[in-house]
Amino acid sequence: MDFAELEAVEGLRWPWHSWPPTTPAAASLVVPTSVLCSPLQHPTAPDLLPLLPYAPLRCASPGCGAALNPFSRVHHGSARWSCAFCGAAANPFPRLLAPDALPAELFPTHSSVEYLLPPDPAEPGGPGPPALVFVIDAATAAEELTVLKDEVRRLMQGLPEGIRVALVTFAASVWVHDLGFEGCARVVVLNGERELESDKVGAAELRNPIEVTGGLMVHTESFEYEQFKSCFRHMFRREGTNYLNMNFNATIEIVTSKEVKICGALGPCISLRRKNNSVSDKEIGEVYDKVPTW
C-alpha cells in the first residue's frame, strides 16, 4: 500500500518522510512536523477500515489513555497488555480472547479502526438531534427579506425529522419566535436598546467563531443571487434520507509517547482545556493552558 492509498483509508497525511533524530535537527525544521487529519473523510476502501462494535480498550496508566493498537504487546499468560505509548505493562486484557482470536485492532494492517460505541448509561437516548438556530436581520429591505424567508421556509420543510429549529429575528428589538406554539404566532420580544461600537458587528469580527466552528460565510450582494441560494442549500444537504451532512460535538484527543510534544492545532477546533504532559512549551495555533484535547 503506497502513501496515497494509506491516506485514503486513514484520513491522515504525514507531510514529512524522515523524523528529526536530534534536537538541533528538529529546531532547524522550516515547517513544523505535523499531521493533516481529515476525520470526516469517507474512506475509499471501507473494507480496510474496520468498524468495531465495542468501546476501545484503553491504557489505565494515569495521563495516558492510549487505545490498544498493533504496536501493543499482549501477554496471554498473565492476561495483560503493554502500552506502546507510556510503557505500562499491567493493563488487564480480557481473558475471553484466545491467542488465535485476536481483536481486529491488533492486526498489523489495522493501524486505523473505527468504534461503534455502546449506548452511554448517562445518556441512554444518545445526545439527541442537532438544533439549528436561524438568526435573521429583520431590518433588511422588504424584497430581500421576502426572498430570504422563502429560502429558510423551503429549507425547514426539507429538514430530516426530529431536528430542532429556532428562529430569532432582530431589528430595533430582538424577537424570539415560538415555532412550536400552535394556534397563533407567539413571540418573546427582548429590548434592543444597547449601544454597540461601530466596526464590532461586521464580517471581520465574526471570523474567529466561524473559523473555530468550521462555519461558513457567504458574501453576496443579494439573497436573490444563485451564489447564496446554492451555497445555503449545499450547507444543509442531506446524507441519505434521515441525516444532514453535518457533524456536531466531536472531540479530538491526541496521545503521544514521551518523546513527542504537541505544539497545537490549526483548523476548526477549540481547546477543551484539559491539562497533561503531552503539550510543548512552543505553541502553534489553538492550544490553551497546555492541553492536547480539542
183-222 binders of Zn ion (CB under 5 A): none
- Indicate which single residue of 9, 57, 64, 287 sits in contact with Zn ion (rule: CB under 5 A): 64
State the minimum distance, in angstroms, from the CB of residue 102 to Zn ion. Answer: 19
State the minimum distance, in angstroms, from the CB of residue 103 to Zn ion. Answer: 17
Pairing of strands 174-178, 164-170: antiparallel
Q: How many CB atoms lie within 10 A of CB 246?
A: 14
| Residue with smaller CB distance to Zn ion, 83 or 279 | 83
Show the site string, 84-103: x = touches Zn ion by CB under 5 A, - = not.
-xx-x---------------
Q: Which stretch binds Zn ion (CB under 5 A): 64-72, 128-136, 158-166, 263-271?
A: 64-72
| Residue with smaller CB distance to Zn ion, 9 or 83 | 83
| Residue with smaller CB distance to Zn ion, 68 or 83 | 83
State the minimum distance, in angstroms, from the CB of residue 40 to Zn ion. Answer: 27
Can you read off the three cell numbers belonging to residue 14?
Answer: 504525514
Q: Which stretch binds Zn ion (CB under 5 A): 8-16, 63-71, 74-82, 123-131?
A: 63-71
State the minimum distance, in angstroms, from the CB of residue 13 to Zn ion. Answer: 26
43-62 binders of Zn ion (CB under 5 A): 59, 61
State the minimum distance, in angstroms, from the CB of residue 65 to Zn ion. Answer: 7
- The most distant pair of C-alpha atoms in the chain lies apart, rounded to whole Å, by 76
CA distances from 159 to 162, 234, 241 (A): 9, 13, 9
| Residue with smaller CB distance to Zn ion, 57 or 86 | 86
Question: Residue 186 gets which letter from DSSP?
Answer: E
| Residue with smaller CB distance to Zn ion, 57 or 148 | 57
The residue count for binding Zn ion (CB under 5 A) is: 8
| Residue with smaller CB distance to Zn ion, 256 or 280 | 256
Q: What are phi and psi of 244, to 5 degrees?
A: -75, 150
State the minimum distance, in angstroms, from the CB of residue 58 to Zn ion. Answer: 8
- CA-nearest of 278, 276, 294 to 286 is 294
Can you read off the three cell numbers belonging to residue 225?
Answer: 443571487
65-84 binders of Zn ion (CB under 5 A): 66, 83
| Residue with smaller CB distance to Zn ion, 111 or 140 | 111
Looking at 136-193, list the stretches that DSSP marks H as alpha helix, in order from N- to C-terminal side: 142-157
State the minimum distance, in angstroms, from the CB of residue 80 to Zn ion. Answer: 12
- CA-nearest of 293, 263, 264, 259 to 276 is 293
State the minimum distance, in angstroms, from the CB of residue 87 to Zn ion. Answer: 7
| Residue with smaller CB distance to Zn ion, 86 or 262 | 86
- For the CA atoms of 137, 143, 144, 149, the dihedral, rounded to the nearest 10 degrees, stands at 70
Does position 276 bind Zn ion by CB under 5 A? no
Q: What are phi and psi of 30, to 5 degrees?
A: -80, -40
C-alpha span between 67 and 113 (Å, rounded)? 11
Looking at the chain, list the stretches that DSSP marks H as alpha helix, in order from N- to C-terminal side: 3-10, 23-27, 142-157, 207-213, 226-235
Question: Residue 28 gets which letter from DSSP?
Answer: T
C-alpha span between 18 and 52 (Å, rounded)? 32
Contacts to Zn ion by CB under 5 A: 59, 61, 64, 66, 83, 85-86, 88
